[in-house]
Amino acid sequence: MTVLAVVPARFGSTRFPGKPLANIAGRPMIERVWRHTVAADGIDRAVVATDDERIANAVRDFGGEAVMTPGSCRNGTERALAALDALGGNAEIVINVQGDAVLTPPWVIGAVPVAMKADKEIAMATPAVKMPPETEAKFREAKAAGEIGGTTVVFDRSMNALYFSKTVIPFQRNPEAGTPTWQHIGLYGYRAETLRRLVALDPTPLEQAESLEQLRALENGIPIKVVAVDYRGRSAWSVDAPSDVTEVEAIIAREGELVP
């Protein structure tokens, strides 16, 4: 069962142009994400999918594999499919790894292909981590202050996603019940046929309301298996703006490199 990991990377970020090439503690961000992906279990091949030769050249310079994809790709999902097709369309599972998830550990990335290899009934999968109380409190404070970053998820007893939201779900009317809040990790695994089906579908109302692509799958009856993961004491942070680079570098200095 062949697993292709695709790291979509575009140069023209509105808030942070050239973000994939941002220097983080001596290395381009895209190199860090690629190295974490290569080190993950269950990955047979890892590529960076881009429409910019500057990114492609940087990837080749550090020994990675880059695939050129059309500039017309509207999102990472479409770019992942374009990469799959550019490489011959032979992979059975495609893992879409966000190019700005610079602190996502290899064991979190690998949890998705491992789960999909173990259960052939999984059409689509994504990881989530249970928030410790102190993290959840900070998360809620940030949301109350108007931040839109970060997504939570609720799922049924079989770990199938019920809903994803930019708000904090579930609403804790009875916090004494001890119901945890799960933070969604923006990484997806698809069977190749599921990826093709998803890209062919039109955007859906909830997807457009929340600006969350995964809701298109749920609204069209495509189940998403939630894979519970543990960061093992590591901090999670993504790079959305230049100011995030300093925070990520501080975390790396404090906690060490994920991959030597």
- Distance of alpha carbon 180 from alpha carbon 167, whole angstroms: 15
Give residue 68's pLDDT.
97
For residue 12 the two structure tokens come to 């023209």
Q: Chain-centre distance of CA 22, in angstroms?
A: 18
Give residue 40's pLDDT.
98
- Distance of alpha carbon 149 from alpha carbon 140, whole angstroms: 11
* One pLDDT digit (tens) per residue for the chain, 260 residues: 799 999 999 987 777 889 999 999 999 999 999 999 999 999 999 999 999 999 999 999 999 999 999 999 999 999 999 999 999 999 999 999 998 889 999 999 999 999 999 999 999 999 999 998 888 888 899 889 988 888 999 999 999 999 999 999 999 999 899 999 999 999 999 999 999 999 999 999 999 999 999 999 999 999 999 999 999 999 888 788 888 899 999 999 999 999 98
Q: State which amino acid sits at residue 82.
A: A
- Half-sphere exposure (CA, 13 Å, Cβ side) for 37? 31
Give residue 85's pLDDT.
97
**What is the CA angle 55-30-10, rounded to 5?**
50
For residue 31 the two structure tokens come to 């190199």
Distances in Å between the Cα of 260 and the Cα atoms of 7, 33, 83, 257 are 20, 13, 28, 6
pTM, rounded to two decimals: 0.94
Q: Domain residue spans in the chain?
A: 3-255
- Distance of alpha carbon 81 from alpha carbon 167, whole angstroms: 29
Measured in degrees and rounded to the nearest 5, phi and psi for residue 27 equal -135, 150
How many residues are listed for the chain in this entry? 260
CATH code linked to domain 3-255: 3.90.550.10
Q: State which amino acid sits at residue 96.
A: N
